[in-house]
Chains A and B, each alone.
Chain A
Amino acid sequence: MPKYTLNVNGKRRSVDADADTPLLYVLRDNLELNGPKFGCGMGQCGACTVHVNGEATRSCLLPVSSLAGKSVTTLEGLGSSTIPSKLQQAFIDEQAVQCGYCCSGMIMTSAALLKKNPKPSEAQIKEALAGNLCRCGTHQRICNAVKRAATTI
C-alpha cells in the first residue's frame, strides 16, 4: 500500500492506504479519530464533515491521494471534553444532542460558517446546515447552540 503524509489537527501523520481510500476511512481507521462519522458515503448527509484548509468538506468522498499539502481538521481538532472550544461548549450548554451521531458534522459545518460569518442570522444558520441531516430532530437546539456560540466567540 502506498504511504501518504497528511496534516491532521496540526500534526503530520503518515498512513498506509490505497490511493482511492476516502479520507473518512483514513481518519477513522488509520488514525482512530472517531469524530467524523460514516452516514452515507455519498456526500448526502454531512456526518463525515471535516475541514480541509478551513473549508467544511465531506470526507467520505475525498480520496486520500488528493490531500497532499492540505491541512485537515476534525472535531477532535477543535477541543476536548475537558477543554471544549466555544462552539462545543455552546452545544453542551444548549444540550444540543440526542443520539449525537450527526453532531460532529453539525459542529464542523457551523465552525466553518462562524469563521466566515461570525454573526449569522437564524436563517443563515439554517441555510448553512441545510446539507447536514439530523434524524433525532435536534434542529432547534443545534441552531440555538450556533447562535449562542456566535454571541460568545
Chain B
Amino acid sequence: MNAPDNFLSRRKLLQAGAAALVVGFSADATLAKTAAPLLSPAKSVAKDVVDSFLVMHADGKVTVYVGKVDLGTGTKTALAQIAAEELDVPFNSITMVMGDTATTPDQWLTGANITIAQGGGELRRACATARAALVARAAQRLGVPAADLAVSGGVVRVKADPSKSVSYSQLMQGGAFDLKVDPKAALKPAAEYKVVGTSVPRVDIPEKVSGEFIYAHDFRMPGMLHARVVRSDDLGATIVSVDDSAARKVSGFVRTVRKDNFLAVVSRTEWGAVKAARALKVQWSKGTGLPDQASVFDYWRKQPIAKEESTQKVGDAPAAIAAAPRKIKASYEFAVQTHASLGPSCSVADYQGGKLVVWSASQATHSMQTELAGVTGVKAEDIRVVYLDGSGCYGRNGHEDASADAALISVMIGKPVRVQWMRADETARAPKSPPRAIDMEAGFDANGKLVAWSADFHIALNHIAAFKPLDFPLLAATDIGQPKPGNWVGFLFQNSAAPYQLPNIRVNTRHVAQAFFRSAHLRSPGRIENSFANESFMDELAAEAKVDPAEFRLQHMSDPRAVAVMRGAMKLANWQSRAGLSPDAGKGTVSKGRGISYVRYNNATTYVAAIAEVEVNRQTGKVLVTRVCVSHDCGQIVNPDGLANQIEGGVIQTVSRTLMEEVNWDRNKVTSVDWVSYPILRFPDAPKVEVDMINRPGEVAWGAGEPTPTAIPAAIANAIYDATGARLRSIPITPEKVKAAIATVRTA
C-alpha cells in the first residue's frame, strides 16, 4: 500500500485550503518534509451537533473530527472505517482530525477500552444522521421518495434509474449540516457492511516506517526553545537553594525558570538544555519518605480504608464457607508497575497574547484544558490542546505532566517551548499503578461441589468519575503548591466479581484512601490484577476438585459466548483435557506446562480465553512463555488485522509485566529509573501468539485493547503450576519466586 494521501498532512490541507495558519518552517529549505504545525480554524465542537463530527468539502472529501485519539492502536483507521461505512463514502475520501480541542467534540478520554464502542458509537450516530439528511435532500432534488434512493461512494442514485443521481458534495455545496445528532438515527445493518469488518491497512504506518510521521516529539515551530525540568529524586522534597552559575556557562543557555518548587532550564538547543539541567546545583530538603518495599503488601493491607463496597453478593458465602467441610484459601499480590513508554514524554507549548496552545500526546486533551488552566492561570477557554501521537502510553503516563511543564514554562517566559522528558523522568516520575493485594476463600460441600466463593480486593481509591473532567495531581501543579486528590487510577473494582455461576458469592472491594505513589491507570487497570487473582484461584479450585482446569471452568459457565471463547482457545492450543499436573512436571531441568484463563472484560463486554504454554527451568527459576493462544469475542469486528495486532501486543506486553516488571524504591525515592533498573521483555523471550477472533456481525463493537492483557497473568501462573506443581501468587513471577515456590513443592 502506498501512503494514503488523504490523511492530515500539511500538503493536503493546503491543497484543500483548510489550513488557516501554517507555522511550519525549516532552517534549510532543501530539507525533506519537516514538522508541520497546523492550526485549523476553530469550529463547532458540541457533541450533539453533526457539524462537530463532520465537514463535507466541495471536492467530495470528508473531514471527520473525533475527540478520541489514536494511541498507536489503530483507532484512526478504525474510526474512519466506521464513518465511511455509515456515510457511504469511499474510505479514501476521509481525513481524520483527532483530539484537537478547538475542532473536535469532547468524547472524554481515550482509554477504558471504549474508543470504538462509545467514541465510534457517537461518530456512527452523527454519520447516520448526516446520511439521512443527505438522502432527504437528494429525494427533494431528484423528486423521488427517499425509500427509492440508494447511496454508494458518496453518490445518491435513484434505484430504478441509476442515471439519475446527485453527489453528497453537490448537495452540500461545502456548507454545514446545521443539525443535531439524532440519537435514534437508523444505523446501517451489518449485512450491508463493505468497509467495517475488513482489514483496511492502517493509514499512519507508511509515514511511521519512513520517518515522515510527526510525533509530538518531532513537532517544531519558529522561535521554539528547549527546556528540561529539574526535579528531586526523593519524593516530596522541596527546593532549599539553587545555584545556576555553572548552567549559565553552557552554550545555548537562555535562563533558569523557577516557581516555588518548579525548576527548569531553558536553552536555544536541546543538548544545551540537557547539559544545563545537569549543571544546575540544587539543594533539596528531605523528602516525605516511602514505605519499606519488602513488606509493601502488609503495609497496603493496613492502610486506612476510605470505603468498602460489595461488588457481588449471591446467596450467603460466609455461612456456606463456615459450613463447608473443605475450605481453600489463597492470597495474591500484584506489584507496582509503570507505563515505561519507550519515548519519554514530550510536549510543545506556545503562549502568546493571552492564548496558550499546547501540542500534546495526552489521551485526554479536552480535560487537559482545565488541568492546564489550574497550573498556568490561563483561562480554560483560552487554552487549545492539539493532539499529536506520542510514544505508546498504555494509560496515563508522563504525557500530561510534560504538557503541563511546557505550558507553565511558556506562560512564564512568553515564548514557545519544547519540553522533552529524560528517561528517568518517564520511568521514575510518571504515575504508577498502585499495588494490589487480594484474599480469596472458597468452600466445597461434602460431595466435592464448589459451593462458596469469597474475595477481598485491596485497591486504591479512585478520585474520578466517568465522563467528568480529570483533576490529576500533575507534577507541575504539585511543584507550584496546588495539592490535588492523589489517585486517578481507573475503575479498579472492575472484574473483581467472580465470572462463574456459584450458589454463594461474596466479593468486596476495600478502597485504600491514599496510595504512596502518585497513581494512575495502567493498561487494563483493576481488571488485570483482579483477574489474576480470580483466574489463579479458579485454577487452584480445579486442582482441588481434581478436574481439568478448562473443563472445571466450563462446568461453572453457561453464557454461549463465554463457552465459545473457551472452546476456541482449547481448539487453537489443542488442549488435551486431564486432571492433575503435566506428565512432564518435575522431570528434568526444564518442565513444560500449559495454563488457561478466562475473562469477560468488566464482567460485561469482550470475552477472552487465553492459554499459555511455558517452559520452566527448575534450577534457575527462569520461565519462558513459548506460545499463547487467545480466543477473542469483542462483538462486531471493525478491522480484523488491527484487532489481531492489539491482541498480539496485549499478550506480549503482559508477558513482560507478568514475568519481569516491578517498580523498585528505597525509603526515599524510586530506584527504577531506566531500562536496566526496569527491564522489559526482549525479542528472544517473546512468545508466539496465535489468535482466534470470533466475529459477531451486528453486535456492539466492544473494545480490544485491554481484555487480552487481563487474561494473561493467570494463564502464565497456571501454566507454571502445571509444569511444576508450584503456585505463583505474586506478580511479577521472577526466577527467585519460582525457585522458592518449587522448593516448597519439593518439601511439601
Instruction: Tell me if chain B binds chain A.
Output: yes
Residues of chain A with a CB closer than 8 A to B641's CB = 95
B34 partner, pick from A22, A32, A79, A123, beta carbons under 8 A: A32
Residues of chain A with a CB closer than 8 A to B71's CB = 99
Chain B interface size, as a band, is: 35 or more
A98 partner, pick from B34, B72, B251, beta carbons under 8 A: B72
- The digit string for A84-98, where 1 denotes a CB below 8 A from any CB of B, is 100010011001011
Chain B min CB distance to A1 (Å): 6
User: For residue A125, which residue of chain B has the nearest CB?
Assistant: B683
B390 partner, pick from A45, A99, A126, A132, beta carbons under 8 A: A99
Interface residues of B in 441-477 (CB under 8 A from A): none
A103 partner, pick from B208, B212, B651, B653, beta carbons under 8 A: B208
Kindly state whether residue B343 has any CB partner on chain A within 8 Å: yes
Kindly state whether residue A37 has any CB partner on chain B within 8 Å: yes
Contact A91 B209 (CB under 8 A): yes
User: For residue A102, which residue of chain B has the nearest CB?
Assistant: B342
Residues of chain B with a CB closer than 8 A to A99's CB = 71-72, 342, 389-392
Residues of chain B with a CB closer than 8 A to A76's CB = 32, 210-212
Contact A135 B26 (CB under 8 A): no
Interface residues of B in 641-672 (CB under 8 A from A): 641-642, 645, 648-654, 656
Chain B min CB distance to A35 (Å): 3
Separation of A34 and B343 alpha carbons in the complex (Å): 13
Contact A135 B211 (CB under 8 A): no
Contact A40 B645 (CB under 8 A): no
- The digit string for B232-269, where 1 denotes a CB below 8 A from any CB of A, is 00000000000000000001000000000000000001
Which of B156-164, B300-308, B540-548, B684-692 is the contact stretch? B684-692
Separation of A98 and B641 alpha carbons in the complex (Å): 12
B270 partner, pick from A29, A39, A141, beta carbons under 8 A: A29
Which of B213-221, B508-516, B578-586, B603-611 is the contact stretch? B213-221
Contact B343 A101 (CB under 8 A): yes
Residue in A39, A45, A103, A139 whose Cβ sees the most chain B Cβ within 10 Å: A139
B211 partner, pick from A17, A47, A74, beta carbons under 8 A: A74
Kindly state whether residue A56 has any CB partner on chain B within 8 Å: no
Chain A interface size, as a band, is: 35 or more
- The digit string for B1-34, where 1 denotes a CB below 8 A from any CB of A, is 1110000000000000000000000111001101
Interface residues of A in 67-86 (CB under 8 A from B): 74-76, 78-82, 84
Contact A34 B202 (CB under 8 A): no
Contact B342 A39 (CB under 8 A): yes
Residue in A18, A45, A81, A125 whose Cβ sees the most chain B Cβ within 10 Å: A81
Please judge, given known A-B contacts A17-B271, A38-B420, A40-B423, whether A81 and B212 are in contact too, CB under 8 Å. Answer: yes
Please judge, given known A-B contacts A41-B423, A95-B641, whether A32 and B220 are in contact too, CB under 8 Å. Answer: yes
Contact A42 B423 (CB under 8 A): yes
- The digit string for A21-45, where 1 denotes a CB below 8 A from any CB of B, is 1100100110111111111111011
Kindly state whether residue B318 has any CB partner on chain A within 8 Å: no
Contact A84 B680 (CB under 8 A): no
Contact A31 B31 (CB under 8 A): yes
Separation of A33 and B31 alpha carbons in the complex (Å): 9
Residues of chain A with a CB closer than 8 A to B215's CB = 34, 37, 101
Separation of A31 and B628 alpha carbons in the complex (Å): 43
B343 partner, pick from A39, A91, A129, beta carbons under 8 A: A39
Contact B205 A92 (CB under 8 A): yes
Chain B min CB distance to A91 (Å): 4
Contact A18 B271 (CB under 8 A): yes
Please judge, given known A-B contacts A32-B26, A74-B211, whether A140 and B2 are in contact too, CB under 8 Å. Answer: no
Separation of A129 and B681 alpha carbons in the complex (Å): 12
Separation of A20 and B642 alpha carbons in the complex (Å): 43
Separation of A136 and B420 alpha carbons in the complex (Å): 21
Kindly state whether residue A134 has any CB partner on chain B within 8 Å: yes
Chain A min CB distance to B221 (Å): 12
Kindly state whether residue B414 has any CB partner on chain A within 8 Å: no
Separation of A129 and B548 alpha carbons in the complex (Å): 39
Contact B217 A141 (CB under 8 A): no
Please judge, given known A-B contacts A38-B344, A47-B343, whether A137 and B271 are in contact too, CB under 8 Å. Answer: no
Chain B min CB distance to A2 (Å): 10
Chain A min CB distance to B407 (Å): 21
Please judge, given known A-B contacts A34-B218, A99-B72, whether A137 and B205 are in contact too, CB under 8 Å. Answer: no
Separation of A33 and B210 alpha carbons in the complex (Å): 10
Kindly state whether residue B48 has any CB partner on chain A within 8 Å: no
Kindly state whether residue A100 has any CB partner on chain B within 8 Å: yes
Residues of chain B with a CB closer than 8 A to A127's CB = 683-684
Residues of chain A with a CB closer than 8 A to B26's CB = 32
Chain A min CB distance to B739 (Å): 24
Kindly state whether residue B674 has any CB partner on chain A within 8 Å: yes
User: For residue B211, which residue of chain A has the nearest CB?
Assistant: A35
Interface residues of B in 28-82 (CB under 8 A from A): 28, 31-32, 34-35, 71-74
Separation of A78 and B206 alpha carbons in the complex (Å): 13
Please judge, given known A-B contacts A95-B202, A98-B392, A136-B653, whether A42 and B674 are in contact too, CB under 8 Å. Answer: yes
B652 partner, pick from A17, A81, A97, A137, beta carbons under 8 A: A137
Kindly state whether residue A6 has any CB partner on chain B within 8 Å: no
Kindly state whether residue A143 has any CB partner on chain B within 8 Å: yes
Kindly state whether residue A150 has any CB partner on chain B within 8 Å: no
Contact B649 A37 (CB under 8 A): no
Kindly state whether residue A133 has any CB partner on chain B within 8 Å: yes
User: For residue B205, which residue of chain A has the nearest CB?
Assistant: A97
Residues of chain A with a CB closer than 8 A to B344's CB = 38-40
The 8 closest A-B pairs by CB, nearest first: A99-B72, A35-B211, A137-B652, A99-B392, A81-B3, A100-B208, A137-B649, A139-B686
25 contacts between A and B (CB under 8 A): A22-B271, A29-B271, A32-B34, A33-B32, A33-B211, A34-B218, A37-B215, A41-B422, A42-B675, A44-B676, A45-B342, A74-B211, A76-B212, A81-B209, A95-B202, A97-B204, A99-B71, A100-B72, A100-B204, A123-B684, A130-B683, A131-B682, A137-B652, A138-B645, A138-B652
20 further A-B pairs in the complex, CB-CB below 8 A; given A76-B210, A137-B686, A139-B681? A20-B271, A28-B270, A29-B226, A32-B34, A37-B343, A38-B343, A41-B423, A45-B675, A75-B211, A76-B212, A88-B210, A95-B201, A97-B205, A98-B72, A98-B645, A100-B205, A104-B211, A133-B675, A137-B648, A138-B648
> Interface on B for A, CB 8 Å cutoff?
1-3, 26-28, 31-32, 34-35, 71-74, 201-202, 204-215, 217-218, 220, 226, 251, 269-272, 274, 340-344, 389-392, 394, 420, 422-423, 641-642, 645, 648-654, 656, 674-676, 680-684, 686, 688-689
